[in-house]
Amino acid sequence: MRLHGYFRSTAAYRVRIALALKGIACERTYVNLLKGEQTAPAYRALNPQGRVPLLETDGFAIAQSPAILEYLEETHPEPPLLPGDAKSRAAIRAVSAVIGCDVHPLNNLAVLKYLTGSLGVSEEAKSAWYAHWVLEGFNAVEAMIAPAPFAFGAEPTMADIYIAPQVYNAKRFDIPLDAYPRIRAVAAACAAHPAFVTAAPETQPDAA
């Protein structure tokens, strides 16, 4: 199993957390997004979209973090990222989707570069765009979780795997989180968990 990623990619961060939680050994390849290594023909041959993360396993490659996380959950069910009954799992998936479907796609590197490059948006307007969509998503997530100490109970789930990287990114861009005590509580619980510490961007070899 090999993971292609970039230390600051929140999507790759999610997969690193899941691998650590499940204790899955995985080789690593580093794709520097700022240098455009994701556009190299060799990488495009593996992932036509030219994004990270990409997981190579069992003779095939899986793109997109939601697909990778679901694959890991199906092939390595313990500990579960989607515990409980159908209603509990739906609640976890809903929080994950708010971030994965509504927040992250609007503030990833490719979108921000398009705003300032092709559309000529100022840095100030780009920052306002970023903050708007993060806060829109966090407003919803704050109402959807009940820290105990993780988003849905005593153990981390897929929801926490989405929340922690998005909080990391929000802090990078100086997004105020004072209005989100539940999200901050979850982020604090994650920051103290060994799997999240192992997966943190600043601890990755390509962060140097």
Tell me which fold the domain 2-79 belongs to: Glutaredoxin (3.40.30)
- Residue 94 predicted with pLDDT over 90: yes
Q: Where in the chain is the domain with CATH 3.40.30.10?
A: 2-79
Overall average pLDDT of the 109-119 stretch: 94
Q: How confident is the model at residue 23 (pLDDT cuts 50, 70, 90)?
A: very high
- Residue 208 predicted with pLDDT over 90: no
pLDDT score for 191: 98
Overall average pLDDT of the 75-98 stretch: 98
How many percent of the chain have pLDDT more than 70?
Answer: 100
The secondary structure of residue 203, as a DSSP letter, is: G
Q: Where in the chain is the domain with CATH 1.20.1050.10?
A: 86-196
Overall average pLDDT of the 21-48 stretch: 97
pLDDT per residue over 151-168, tens digit each? Answer: 999 999 999 999 999 999
- What's the pTM value of the predicted model, to 2 decimals? 0.96
Distance of CA 121 to the CA centre of its chain: 26
Average pLDDT, the chain: 97
Given the candidates 1.10.240.10, 1.10.10.410, 1.20.1050.10, 3.30.930.10, the CATH classification of the domain at 86-196 is: 1.20.1050.10
Beta bridge pairs of residue 185: none
Length reported for the chain: 208
Residue 157: half-sphere exposure toward Cβ, Cα within 13 Å: 23
pLDDT score for 68: 98
Question: Is-contact 174 152, C-beta < 8 A?
Answer: no
- Cβ neighbours of 72 (radius 10 Å): 22
Overall average pLDDT of the 114-140 stretch: 96
- Residue 96 predicted with pLDDT over 90: yes
